[in-house]
Amino acid sequence: MRCKCGYVFSQAKLQALRAGKEAPYESYLVVDDKDFMAFIRAELRVLQCEDQKTEAYYSAIGRAAALAGSLMKCPMCSCLLLVKPGDASLESFTPEA
């Protein structure tokens, strides 16, 4: 994912992982209010899987992930980038000066 200012989130995350550090930007999970309880139930199914290497475990993760989006703040320009749950498009919001 790339911000309008040119900052590349995936590159920064990869560099942080390689260095054993946290991502250098703020990132938040976003769930639509109408899907909140379904998301919680899906997350509980993930936690109830005893073996993390089973089809049931990965299916449960997939169901929860389908209900989740993300909100990130660019560390270079403070722009907010939103990926809505179930939508691959990117929306950006520039802070007022």
- Residue tagged 């722009």 (tokens): 79
Please check whether residue 20 is in contact with residue 75, taking contact to mean a CB–CB distance below 8 angstroms: no
Tell me the domain boundaries of the chain: 1-26+70-97, 33-66
Condensed to tens digits (0 to 9), the pLDDT of residues 3-58 reads 999 999 999 999 999 999 998 999 999 999 999 999 999 999 999 988 888 888 89
Which residues does 73 contact at the CB level (< 8 Å), separation at least 6?
25, 26, 27, 79, 80, 81
Per-residue tokens: 22: 């946290």
What is the C-alpha to C-alpha distance for residues 64 and 36, in angstroms, rounded to an integer?
10
Q: What is the pTM of this model?
A: 0.79
